[in-house]
Amino acid sequence: MKRICSILSLLISFSVAAQNTVRIQVVQPDGTALDGASISLQAASKKTFITNGNGLADVNSSSASLALRISYAGYYAKDTSLTAGNSLHKIVLTPLPAALQPVEVRGIRAGNNAPFTKTDIAKSTIEKNNLGQDIPFLLNQTPNVVVNSDAGNGIGYTGIRIRGSDASRINMTINGIPYNDAESQGLFFVNLPDLLSSVSSIQVQRGVGTSSNGAGAFGASMNFSTHSYQPQAYAEVNNSVGSFSTFKNTIKAGSGLIGKHFTIDARVSNISSEGFIDRASSRLQSGQFTVGYWGKKSSLRFNAILGKEKTYQAWYGISEADKNNNRTFNSAGTEKPGSPYDNETDNYWQNHYQLFFNHEFNSHSVFNTALYLTTGRGYYEQYKANARLSSYGINPINDGNGIPQSRTDLIRRLWLKNKLFGQVFSWQHTKNRHEFTVGGGWSFYPGQHFGDVIWTAAQPNFRQRYYDFDASKSDINVYSKYQYSLPNNRWKLFADVQYRFVHYKIDGFRNNPGVSVNENWNFINPKAGISYQHQNWSGFLSYAVGNKEPNRDDFEAGLTQLPRREQLHDVELNISKKNCCAMYKPA
């Protein structure tokens, strides 16, 4: 027994001794601490540490010599090797020239001391957790987030709620460009497979947050940046294998700086899975191509993000009895006699084309603008048993024996073709204790909703379009933001106001062809707050107003009464204390 105790004591002592700590402070060249800088171990564990409000972090490792990469959005990353000890290691990160920074996201993101509840996710964290699942599952550990998956394994159609609000009340932008579907206002992450392999940083603002482009935010605003300056050539191949025959294959490559001014980056991805739910398969492909020109004061970048998805429908849910006895049951396709219909699938192609121009007038003033075009087309296919042809506007058709049939099995495709094109811009001026931003954007959306019967049991070669309705939406917004730091640099005042105009026109619905919509909305969304930061203590108080127009489903559901706009008054109070290892604050 004494020998066993001695061995255990030795193992415990060795375990404790094997943990080495390096204390690091990450600062700007002027000595200002960088809150939220990412410090990543370059060892196999790839563990990441985040600096606190004083730019401090204690990095723990089993090795006494640590190879580290320190990074922060808008700054050059730094690779260094440090030895464990009691001394403080100060790391100075150099800001990227304004022409190299993703200025388009800086205009709509909340700054370090802005009076809003937010979470910043660095590239190192994204890379560590990107195993092929959709975006909501990477955000699953973010406060107030609840996610779901139709297929049951996070691949294919997924959903997200933040602070209880569904996706239609969450604003999402990619490089400052609106992503929410213009009509449903929802978020369809399945249309952008493996976008995370191209994302360099994410910010999630909970609540109304700062002014942004696109849909109104109640639950949160999510901003994704795919722009990171890559001066060194690189090539990567990433593969993942998981349960339910899940495979993710990604190839990335970049040219590095060509001729001191040009870079080219590309990615292709393929994700496949059979899903946890019966027949809930996913076949997802995507690609991204970026070419950039980098000048001393200006940059010009073209970005293409391409996505294709084919998923077997699995969105119907199950009964209480099936939950207890047959949890993987999927009712999709079961209207077909015998085995389920094998092509009860959802198919969609979505491509994003973005052109960015940034210019630095001087060290205090930066301007950026972007033109964009998003195209989408796709359908979902369904087998309908014993369908009444008159419901499809089809007269009785003769079967193979020449007998008229008013009811028959049929296969239908429900199509959506749409585009979203527009422009966003912002001008940012920072001098002494003042930060001022003016920005905005406009967009126009034309959408076509139509459906085709592509087969009938009575007459297999029969094809006919049975509905075809157009819709359009215009969106214009302008905003201004101002932040002032008081002389002691502990208190900061923030003000923000946005004006948004929306026009929505619908020429009819599949189930209600005679109903049309032609409505305008004018929204004013003010925000104001005050923040405090000193040593490890910080806090803020803010008030914000958010407004949201009805979506397409609201109009069809409210045939007897016109749906009204939604409005949210958001008051946030936050008191936080950070130390080397933890942060205590409300979510």
Q: b/e for 170-206, b at 16 or more Cβ within 10 A?
A: bbbbbbbbbbbbbbbbbbbbbbbbbbbbbbbbbbbbb
Which secondary structure element, helix H or strand E, spans residue 272, and what is its range? strand 262-273
Say yes or no to pLDDT of 150 above 90: yes
pLDDT of residue 77: 82
Q: Count Cβ atoms within 10 A of the Cβ of residue 309 and give its class: 0-12 exposed, 13-18 middle, 19 or more buried.
A: buried
In this predicted structure, what is the pLDDT of residue 45? Answer: 62
pTM for the structure as a whole: 0.86
The pLDDT value recorded for residue 122 is 84
Which of residues 95, 117, 145 is at a domain's end?
A: 95
Q: Is 508 left (phi over 0), alpha (psi -120 to 50) or beta?
A: left
Residue 10 lies in a domain: no
> Are 103 and 427 spatial neighbours (Cβ–Cβ below 8 Å)?
no
Strands 404-405 and 407-431 turn out to be unpaired
- Residue 530: the pLDDT is 95
Residue 468 domain flag: yes
Is 390 contained in some domain? yes
Residues 106, 230: Cα–Cα separation, whole Å: 19
Of 40, 73, 95, which residue constitutes the final position of a domain? 95
Pairing label, strands 201-206, 118-122: antiparallel
Q: What is the pLDDT of residue 47?
A: 78
Residue 518 lies in a domain: yes
Q: What is the CATH number of the domain that holds 61?
A: 2.60.40.1120
Average pLDDT score over residue span 551-579 = 87
Antiparallel, parallel or unpaired: β 88-92 and 20-27: parallel
pLDDT band per the 50, 70, 90 thresholds, residue 9: very low
The answer to the question of residue 111 being in a domain is no
E strands of 395-536, at which residues? 397-398, 404-405, 407-431, 434-456, 464-485, 491-506, 517-534
Amino acid at 239: N
* Of 69-73, 370-374, 427-431, 467-471, minimum mean pLDDT range: 69-73
Question: In the listed set 95, 123, 142, which residue is the last one of a domain according to the structure?
Answer: 95
| 452 domain residue, yes or no | yes
**Residue 479 located in a structural domain:** yes
Lowest mean pLDDT among 34-38, 135-139, 328-332: 34-38
Residue 299 in any domain: the answer is yes
Q: What is the CATH number of the domain that holds 520?
A: 2.40.170.20
Domain count, the chain: 2
Cross-strand bridge partners of residue 569: 545
169-199 pLDDT, tens per residue? 999 999 999 999 999 999 999 999 999 999 9
Cα dihedral 30, 32, 38, 39 sign: positive
Supply the range of the domain harboring residue 28. 21-95
Cα atoms in the 13 Å half-sphere on the side-chain side of 391 = 11
Supply 33's token pair. Answer: 């601490």
To which residue do tokens 């994700």 refer?
271
Enter the DSSP assignment of 99: G
Q: What is the pLDDT of residues 75-89, one digit of tens each?
A: 778 888 888 777 788
